[in-house]
Structure 1
């Protein structure tokens, strides 16, 4: 079902009017009171309607705050809400966050975020939305993924986060925080099976090694599922999916004031080829016959052997009751090893081997913060070091398409930052922050021995006001700046295009956070305007030559609304809506003028509408309608994906320790392929329906 924009806005008006008219209500935001915040909370307590609004503490601004007091457009999921929604990946998170989409680029670990309409291709060293796992920054396009096992919460911040997080967070941040082990022994085992021979098994276990002093936590997952794209020559499915995940967590609290956490994790893929194929136009360019739907004739077995390793050491020392010193040291390596048949035929037109691609980042952050009742402030220092190595071999029966690429990019970044919240008059407070960041990078082509270096710096301020009308209603207005790092163009011999500058964004936002009916309904909303300058775009400078340049300017405006309400005991309604309009104000190259066109990979709107019922007898049911608006795939707006909706459902029976569920993702088997990806060459297939059975045991 495809409706126009006015229809969706009308639906939203009805939903909000109905929510405001229903009483008594019992509501909360994502994850609050849906089944209890603790894994061992009994289902009977939750189902009786004892869902008074709890105080959720987040660290979105790197200080502990109630989520309703944070002057940022933010969506928060706790462990239980992740389980209720059957969220299994970062891609699934996007389905429940206004104005966020994760673009499938055909292979696991290569999904790329589009937040408020800004998106970056997967094989780049930057991104517009940062992903942080226990402080480990994932701010490149490669490896933007994480297994969500034994998670305390996920915080999704929308809008520029350049002041506190720095580069490559110009439209937002996704924070994933693992659960801290403590004095209580607890564990969980989950198993699921479903269509296409899906198998998923996970576990978590944590508890004390020494009471009040030393604690441990371990978690792991195995996931396997057959593909849905057939190789007609062999009869095999080529796009099977399989991965392993493991995490170990050691926590030490030698004295009351000191908390030390060491977290080590690994995510490894052992999968088949990409879930994509040529379009008719792409096949014609290779001189091949038009491809069949979800069928290939590849003469090369593709594979994805990528792996991500991460380590995080966090030390928190309480100098006084309100003064805290925090150190976060991290290391992350994403190794991309893959074999791909990009002509998907029995001819050898474009066989690509990613031999030994490594993306490594070491980071260190040191900050001091004060959280006094009247005045909150934070100051910090940051450093990171990057080493990115790309080694690609391309084989073809066409001599001009044979080649070897071996190149690297390395560099350092330094930053100093501060953030402040202070009262002015009455309930009016000032929010301000400033960050200065310097980057030095070097690019080297090992095949030609060509070297070039460059540096970029940025000053990213933030200033705003927040007004507390009452304990239940807070409004805010602010101006903030974000930016995306500059970079280098590969293989160019033209000095004009050796490198390109940073992209900058100014955002103007007004928002409201409100709780009604004695803490039983939450309504949050924001409107924003973004001015993007020195926009990084692919500019055609010759008939067959394009480079990344700063050739465009753009503006965007949008709204974001979220609601959660419980209309009766056990019944909770949830909804989220985002509208975004982003257009080029200036952008042309030798192929045309794109002024007025939409930015690629920017859905016009996103929405989710859900209903959940949890009864004290143990009966559980949930349904979600998830939708995305029309999305253009290229700067000329020649190719696009139409608006689409999918339905997810989940029913089951819950006890204090054991749950069993029947679930469906994409219940009606909706196809929403990206047809025309990469300049009209490729189709990326959407995931088919998945129906499965899941069992969970807690102890």
Structure 2
């Protein structure tokens, strides 16, 4: 596992205590889990010192497990799921039972990739190429990260550019004529001053949905990714990191079919395709004014074009289809002043962003054709602060607050302009107590917010507005080390009160809207453990139980009180075991599962629960590695039957078998 340097002096003392205890009980020092350092609260510290539920997956773990997409994190990160949608380049996360429809142009969980925020489901994607780690913060993080972090944050960090040269090249073959290549290269151009990196991927795979009208596959996939990095350190106290990424898709249809048709079979005459692409730019600059004072600037541009056409009648005649040609752009800027005083640390920050979106939606149905063209702009300005205060040797108090102003405007073609604005205050308080060396308990209270907006797909209702969604969260947790530092554990229990909950409704074909008329309660428990059973043997397990129910939801004549929030599983988790032999070979088996989810507020349609068995095995010799994998060994089916209010089935992918050859220098 790749680790950041530990800088927390209080934790350094704790590490020394742990090491002393371990030497007494295990003098041969046979096995030990490595320490994990995170930047969850924008300062580096051990994961045990963060008073929140945090999951970290290293780039090495992702690569060894064959994880290359967000959907594969479902179950492996308890409490995190994704709406079944079936289209590349779009993911709508579900964290602790909270989610957002793609048509809200927002998400309930914020994605940050090297500091670049993604505020929409469109472009919520990463292929995990040359990745150092993923940090997932569960629970409201609006105090530090603002709007759209009401349920949590997924932060992806690339491997740092430094004096260590790295080269990696891999080729992969798999089921359905899968072909893929990946590469990464990082080099110092001027030692200790200038560094550069480049990485990328190309992948192609045949689909599994038969189009009986054309005689081919409906859902072929092809994608490209490129990542460029440049780092400049004119002196040891000043650092500039410039990054550019690009992702592009040349896909066929979404994984959709008619619920009444034979499974994995369509007869579409209308072409279906996904030609989306996105790019990001970022500049992360920092300067150490003194050993205990740093100023930081993060400038980012996120640009995504959602270009899709999808047949929705699945028949030869052109009866119904949807088309999107959205262009989503967000420019953001953050300044932070970070400091330390003895055993405490603090920061002050200002954040602003501007989004400029062109939304073009076309819908053809038997009763007619609808062509919507809307310009949507928004501005955000926020001030925030965060303090970790050492009250006593065993007590730490965390306090923070954020004031954020959000303004949004829409300019619909053929209708009147509209404007709305909201001001949010998002506080957080957490108290942590060190029980013993490396073992902590904590309690926290925090507020999360997701921005409001306008119904861009409801012209008949004059593009009615919906209010911001607000969450108060109360959490208790424990985390630390046991059994001579061979067991790392974490446990969290939470209760969340949700007001003005945003829910998608689709009372009839072609008419959908977001309402904020619901209130809900979300409560749950998250448990995780990593355990070194013996030299070479690692057990990883995690389980999340969540119950998110509408307390009150009256929409017209329909009363949904007591129903489950759509797309939120009550149970998900994983258990896996891995063995690494000193001679270079390894095997890994893992069970990943999720409970059933409902697809609508009325709880009429659902995706059944599932359990998948995934296998990985390989051999390393020198710089070479060959690995084989089987995903979904039992070929389990878990289709989302009744998506889009009963009109669509989203098919689950079948079993996949493959082999990968990798060279590392």
TM above 0.5, yes or no, is yes
Out of 573, 590, 593, the residue aligned to residue 624 of structure 1 is 590
Cα contact 1:350–1:401 (8 A) shared by 2? no
Out of 107, 115, 133, the residue aligned to residue 127 of structure 1 is 107
Which string of whole-angstrom CA distances, capped at 9 and with x for unpartnered residues, describes residues 615-642 of structure 1? 1111100001000012111111111222
Query: Does structure 1 residue 292 correspond to structure 2 residue 262?
Result: yes
Cα contact 2:385–2:402 (8 A) shared by 1? yes
Query: 1:493, CA displacement in angstroms?
Result: 6.5
Q: How does 1:262-277 map to 2 (within 5 A)?
A: 262-277=242-257
- State the distance in 2 between where 1:259 and 1:381 align: 20
Partner of 1:40: none
Q: Secondary structure at the match of 2:63?
A: helix
Partner of 1:605: 571
Query: Does structure 1 residue 349 correspond to structure 2 residue 330?
Result: no
Q: Secondary structure at the match of 1:164?
A: helix
Query: Does structure 1 residue 216 correspond to structure 2 residue 183?
Result: no
Which string of whole-angstrom CA distances, capped at 9 and with x for unpartnered residues, describes residues 279-336 of structure 1? 13xxxxxxxxxx1211111002211000010011000111111211110000011101
Query: 1:543, CA displacement in angstroms?
Result: 11
Summarize the Cα distance change of 1:373–1:474 in structure 2 as closer, same or farther, 3 Å threshold: farther
Summarize the Cα distance change of 1:49–1:197 in structure 2 as closer, same or farther, 3 Å threshold: farther
Q: How does 1:119-518 map to 2 (within 5 A)?
A: 119-280=99-260, 291-354=261-324, 356-396=325-365, 398=366, 400-446=367-413, 448-490=414-456, 498-518=464-484
Partner of 1:13: none
Query: Does structure 1 residue 525 correspond to structure 2 residue 468?
Result: no
Cα contact 1:497–1:549 (8 A) shared by 2? no
- State the distance in 2 between where 1:409 and 1:617 align: 59
Cα contact 2:171–2:662 (8 A) shared by 1? yes
Q: Secondary structure at the match of 2:339?
A: strand
Q: Secondary structure at the match of 1:437?
A: strand
Gaps of 5+ in 2: 5-27
- State the distance in 2 between where 1:328 and 1:251 align: 14
Summarize the Cα distance change of 1:619–1:546 in structure 2 as closer, same or farther, 3 Å threshold: closer
Summarize the Cα distance change of 1:543–1:298 in structure 2 as closer, same or farther, 3 Å threshold: closer
- State the distance in 2 between where 1:426 and 1:184 align: 38
Q: Secondary structure at the match of 2:234?
A: coil
Query: 1:429, CA displacement in angstroms?
Result: 1.5
Cα contact 1:511–1:525 (8 A) shared by 2? yes
Partner of 1:665: 631
Cα contact 2:168–2:662 (8 A) shared by 1? yes
Aligned length: 642
- State the distance in 2 between where 1:475 and 1:481 align: 20
- State the distance in 2 between where 1:262 and 1:598 align: 44
Query: 1:234, CA displacement in angstroms?
Result: 1.8
Gaps of 5+ in 1: 1-29, 34-47, 281-290
Partner of 1:109: 89
Query: 1:392, CA displacement in angstroms?
Result: 2.6
- State the distance in 2 between where 1:294 and 1:71 align: 46
- State the distance in 2 between where 1:58 and 1:387 align: 33
Cα contact 2:110–2:117 (8 A) shared by 1? yes
Summarize the Cα distance change of 1:253–1:583 in structure 2 as closer, same or farther, 3 Å threshold: same
- Alignment TM-score, normalising by the size of structure 1: 0.89
Q: Secondary structure at the match of 2:71?
A: helix
- Alignment TM-score, normalising by the size of structure 2: 0.94
Partner of 2:47: 67
Which string of whole-angstrom CA distances, capped at 9 and with x for unpartnered residues, describes residues 467-489 of structure 1? 01122201110000001100002
Stretches of 4+ aligned residues off by more than 6 angstroms: 30-33, 493-497, 540-544
Summarize the Cα distance change of 1:248–1:51 in structure 2 as closer, same or farther, 3 Å threshold: farther
